[in-house]
Amino acid sequence: MKAGIRNPVVKIIFYAILVLWGLSVLYPLLWTLLDALKDNEQFLLHSPWALPDMPLLWSNFSYVWNKYNFNQYFLNSIVVTGGSTLLGLLLSASTAYVLARYRFKGSNALYLLYISSMMVPFILALIPLFFLMNSLHLINTAIGLIFVYASSVLAFGIFVLVGFFKSLPKELEEASIMDGASHYGTFFRVMLPLSQPGLVTVAIVNVLNIWNEYIVGTILINDPKHYTLPVEIGIMQAEMQYRTEWGPLFAALMVTIVPVLVIYILFQRKIASGITAGAVK
């Protein structure tokens, strides 16, 4: 039983605030799409909310895709995001399972070490990371970026998955051990399938974060062959000072946003449960 709001004036005002905020979120997205279909002249002569002239300049998209090499950057982003999400998941799930189910000397300390690393500002590690990757010859490589991203998502993954493994019933594992399965068999054949919801949640949150990551990418990659999408967006926007191609810039933003929007629409609930689980410290 919920009373809602009794005073109709207050109700209308509150509703108006919600609608306004909703517009403030949706309108920039629509604006990005519309501006991606304009040429420079339309930017300068018409107001920003003017609809693009006919015929629509869909060529802006093919222009960034081919001439700006967004086909390459898109692929790079997929490889890096996919690779680091999988590696991060493998590393955090294995440790999380052991920390949730096995007691051994130092297991608590290890857990605390991972969790407290979330308190340390990542930017502090940025300079040494650059020199470390340089000496490992991992600058300008996808694998270097994958290693750093996978490592940066460990603490979150371990935190959420330890909680998740602990919430699973112990009986199935005990039965599996009784049947003579090894520890490995029990983990891979019994626990992993059971923990799929938790794994998916962690994976989705990581995919979004890694796909959007900018600063590490900028520092570890300076060869255009290996740019990810956010890195190239940053460079494109800096170039706009002397090379005005606004339409293509907005087309590039669309190319970057659309994949995460699709993931968001498909996995909304997972994302909400992921951030809720990750923030209850």
**Footprint of other proteins on residues 78-117 (CB under 8 A)?**
91-92, 94-95, 97-98, 102, 104, 110, 114, 117
224 is an interface residue for other proteins by CB under 8 A = no
Distance CA 159, CA 172 (A): 23
CB of 166 to other proteins, least distance (A): 16
Which one, 25 or 54, has the nearer CB to other proteins?
25
Site for other proteins in 32-71 (CB under 8 A): 32, 35, 43-44, 47-49
Site for other proteins in 115-144 (CB under 8 A): 117, 119-132
20 is an interface residue for other proteins by CB under 8 A = no
160 is an interface residue for other proteins by CB under 8 A = no
CB of 266 to other proteins, least distance (A): 12
Binding test (CB under 8 A) with other proteins, winner from 68, 73, 147, 165: 147
Report the chain's C-alpha Rg in angstroms: 24
Could you tell me which stretch among 54-62, 78-86, 146-154, 161-169 binds other proteins (CB under 8 A)?
146-154
237 is an interface residue for other proteins by CB under 8 A = yes
Provide the mask over 257-276, with x wherever binding to other proteins is found by CB under 8 A and - wherever it is not: x--xx-xx---x--xx--xx
Which one, 152 or 176, has the nearer CB to other proteins?
152
Provide the mask over 167-206, with x wherever binding to other proteins is found by CB under 8 A and - wherever it is not: ---------------xxx--x-------------------
